[in-house]
Every structure is written in C-alpha cells, then in structure tokens.
Amino acid sequence: MNKRQNPAEFLKKVIGKPVVVKLNSGVDYRGILACLDGYMNIALEQTEEYSNGQLQNKYGDAFIRGNNVLYISTSTK
C-alpha cells in the first residue's frame, strides 16, 4: 500500500445496496450493506445467513468484522 487514498468513490457504489458477504469460514450473509467503518467492519440490514446454500437464520442487523470477510459481491436480488 503505497499511499492512503480515499476509497469512498468505490464504496459509494455498493453502500446501501444488496450484497452477498462471504466469510472466510464459507458462510454467506445476504443483506443490505448499511454502513462500514475504517477497518472495513460492516453492518448489514435484513440479513439472511446461508450455509452450504441453505438459509440458516435471519437477522435484522448483522455486524461483521472486516478481517473475517473473504469477499463482498453485489447481489442480483
């Protein structure tokens, strides 16, 4: 990382959108990307937890520590 640049432009495209958050453990969380902080910790709303493609749980809000996230993709739903 050679410089500290503002990543806001990029994050604008995904914040407030439905996303799939894949954790290192393999579990998916699908929800609205509500907000995030300077560590890339993220908070989802209307969250559904999927394990092996099966819906396991629903959460109103979910907080996910950035270090645990494998990737975030924009959801088609």
Binding site for another protein (CB under 8 A): 1-2, 4-8, 10-12, 14-16, 22, 34-40, 43, 66-67, 69-74
Measured CA to CA, the distance from residue 13 to residue 57 in angstroms comes to 27
Minimum CB separation from another protein for residue 52, in Å?
A: 18
Minimum CB separation from another protein for residue 55, in Å?
A: 20
Minimum CB separation from another protein for residue 17, in Å?
A: 9
CB within 8 A of 10, min separation 6: which ones?
none
Measured CA to CA, the distance from residue 66 to residue 43 in angstroms comes to 10
Residue among 59 and 69 whose Cβ is closer to another protein: 69
